[in-house]
Chains A and B, each alone.
Chain A
Amino acid sequence: MTTLKSFKTRGRIALGALLLGALASSLWAAEPAAADGSATNAVPAAVKPHLTGAELYSIHCNRCHAERYPTERTAAQWKTIMLHMQIRANLPGKQARLILQYLQENSGR
């Protein structure tokens, strides 16, 4: 039992270290410096008045799976898939339409 407890403690420490390390690394790598060394001036999406279809695609698809390339499907196929994803991912209709427009405009025909 002592061994089990010790193992659990070590495991939790290791998992915690992994999480903290990944978190720190992610934050460090999140905002790369510009080529001239100055900080980039990316406008946070949170202050933009309206999100584009491409931005919504990046926001929502990444929640559950790696983003699929728009060219993987035709415009007609994306229409059916986006209806499926609108329901499965609980997306408002307007946002789903903007994502669909982005996917169709860049689709594999």
Chain B
Amino acid sequence: MKQNLKTGRWMFGPGIAFGALLLTSPTAATAEVSDAAFNALKDAVQKLSEQVQSLTQTNQLVQQQHEKDVQKLQELQAKLAETQQTAADADQKSTAAAQAAAQPAPRSPIDEATVNHNFQILGDAEFQYVNADHQNGAFLLADFAPIFLYRGGDNILFEAGFDTSIANNAPNGGDHNTTFNLSFAQLDYVLNDYMTLCAGDMLLPLGTYSERGAGWLNKIPDDPLAVDALLPGSGVGAQLRGAVPLGDTGKLFNYSLYCVNGPGSADGTGNAGSLDLGGNVGLRSDGAVANLHNNPGGGARFAVFLPFYKPRYDLELGVSAEASEWDNAGSHLWTAGVLDASLHLGPNFELKGEYIATRFGSDDFGTINQNGWWVQAGYKLAGLNVELPGLNNLELLGRYDSLHDGLGTTTDRYTIGAVYYVTTALLLEGDYEFIRSTDPTQPSNQLILQISYGF
């Protein structure tokens, strides 16, 4: 702007001189003008014209430069605005990041890609002290039972459970031996939401105890008499199982259908004492692969699970059965039927039990009918709402079980006990059993103390 003013002043001076010449020209026109004066005037006008032309060019250059400067200034202003916006955005992001860092990150499942396969060990361990009348009290390692799980995707699971225990050798035999038994080993394939195919050495759904009552799951250290004596714990074969929801309130219909080798004969004969409920695994000691009898066995369990009122209030009722040949000749049939029930009334009361009946033919005793039952109740004293140290961790238990082996021996057992929950997984269990049996070798009373840990 200053340059424009300066340029204007430069042009103003010659303009005044030229005007003065014009004002004086009428007098010159009337007077004689010499050539020298005319030429001098002409030169002066010529110079002035050149100066005007030069100034005009200079002015044009200055104006062009000015326009460039203005354009550059506008560009710089635009860049400044852009820079200021960038700085504002960065500041906003920085503030948001600082706020996010100040808050705990939300819990979210680990990325699926990192957990597509997974190996996991669960299981339980129990250690016991047993003191039965007419016998010396003894500590014993009852069980160490790891369960290995390998998940090969969303639908495939391999699971295997083992039992490890030690026992003295036969009287006067010295030393002790260690046993390492395979409880179950099965491959599971989830076909859909309602059906799973299992194959291998499976825990059998005859009642619920073998699948849900073993180890630390049971609150009384030893198994019901009838479960141990009358039912196979596992079987080698295949199974379809699953559940169908009955509405949206948690009610379920459960089913299991299975085909297994079935029981076998310990010595191949059909004598009653040779019935072997768990030994027919399809592979003989001589390496031959064969069922011990011609035809496999089959079984099923159907149940309804009925939650009511609110969570932890539920009733489950089930019926299950299995039938199979059992002797090598295949001339005798072994059948079993189980009714099971389980009731929960809140978090503190549980009542459950089973009725078990079996029948099998034999060469020496004909048809043998066996039966037994057990009913067990537990009440957690936390339900009393009494604030006494340790009381809320205590559960009182009672069980009555009975066994009729069909060969003349009847045993009834009454058990009272308690569980102290150190944690939900570490249990201190104790029970006292009153045993009344026609078998004179059975003790009359027995104390069992146990530490159980589920992991």
Q: Does B110 contact A (CB under 8 A)?
A: yes
Cβ B348 vs Cβ A79 within 8 A: no
Query: Taking the complex as formed, is B340 at the interface, i.e. its CB lies under 8 A from any CB of chain A?
Result: no
Q: Would A68 and B351 count as touching, CB distance under 8 A?
A: no
CA distance A67 to B421 in the complex (A): 12
How near does chain B come to A55, taking the closest CB pair, in angstroms?
5
- Given known A-B contacts A58-B312, A94-B193, A22 and B249 have beta carbons under 8 A apart: no
Interface size class of B (residues with CB under 8 A): 35 or more
Contact A95 B194 (CB under 8 A): no
- B383 in contact with A25 (CB, 8 Å): yes
Residues of B near A84 (CB, < 8 A) are 120, 122, 147, 149, 157, 159
Q: Say whether A77 contacts B120, CB under 8 Å.
A: yes
Is A37's beta carbon under 8 Å from chain B? no
B395 to chain A, nearest CB (A): 10
CB under 8 Å from chain A, chain B span 324-353: 342, 344-349, 351
Residues in B neighbouring A23, C-beta threshold 8 A: 345, 349, 351
Select from chain A the residue with minimum beta-carbon distance to B216. A65
Q: Which of A22, A55, A65, A88 contacts B379 (CB 8 A)?
A: A22
B342 close to A63 (CB less than 8 A) = yes
In the complex, whether A35 has a CB less than 8 A from a CB of chain B is no
B314 touches A63 (CB 8 A): yes
B396 an interface residue at 8 Å Cβ cutoff? yes
CB < 8 Å: which of A30, A58, A106 contacts B345? A30
- Mostly helix, strand, loop or mixed at chain A's interface? helix
| A80-B149, A90-B241 as given contacts; A59 in contact with B216, CB under 8 Å | no
A49 and B312 form a contact (CB under 8 A): no
Residue among A67, A80, A90, A104 with max Cβ neighbours from chain B (10 Å): A90
Residue of B122, B192, B241 with highest tally of chain A CB at under 10 A: B122
With A4-B436, A29-B385, A91-B243 already in contact, the answer to whether A64 and B151 are too (CB < 8 A) is no
Residue B15 CB within 8 A of the other chain: no
Bound Cα distance A91, B255 (Å) = 11
Residues from chain A with a CB closer than 8 A to the CB of B377 are 15, 18-19, 22
Q: A62-88 interface mask toward B, CB cutoff 8 Å, 1 = contact, 0 = none?
A: 111111110000111101110110111
A75 to B110, CA, bound (A): 6
Most B CB within 10 A of own CB, among A74, A89, A92: A92
B114-134, CB < 8 A from A = 114-115, 118-120, 122
A31 to chain B minimum Cβ distance, whole angstroms, is: 9
Please, how many angstroms separate the alpha-carbon atoms of A48 and B424 in the complex? 29
Kindly report which residue of chain B lies nearest to residue A54, judged by CB atoms: B311
Which 10 A-B residue pairs are closest in the complex by CB-CB distance? Answer: A93-B193, A26-B349, A22-B379, A58-B311, A76-B115, A66-B424, A11-B414, A80-B118, A80-B151, A29-B383
Q: Can you give 7 contacting A-B residue pairs, CB < 8 Å?
A: A18-B377, A22-B377, A63-B212, A75-B107, A81-B120, A91-B252, A92-B243
Q: Which residues of A does B touch, CB under 8 Å?
A: 4, 7-8, 11-12, 14-15, 18-19, 21-23, 25-27, 29-30, 32, 42, 44-51, 55-56, 58-59, 62-69, 74-77, 79-81, 83-84, 86-95, 104-107, 109
**Given A12-B400, A18-B377, A65-B216, 14 new contacts (CB under 8 A):** A15-B377, A22-B377, A25-B349, A32-B385, A45-B307, A45-B309, A45-B310, A64-B217, A65-B217, A83-B154, A92-B242, A92-B244, A93-B193, A109-B107
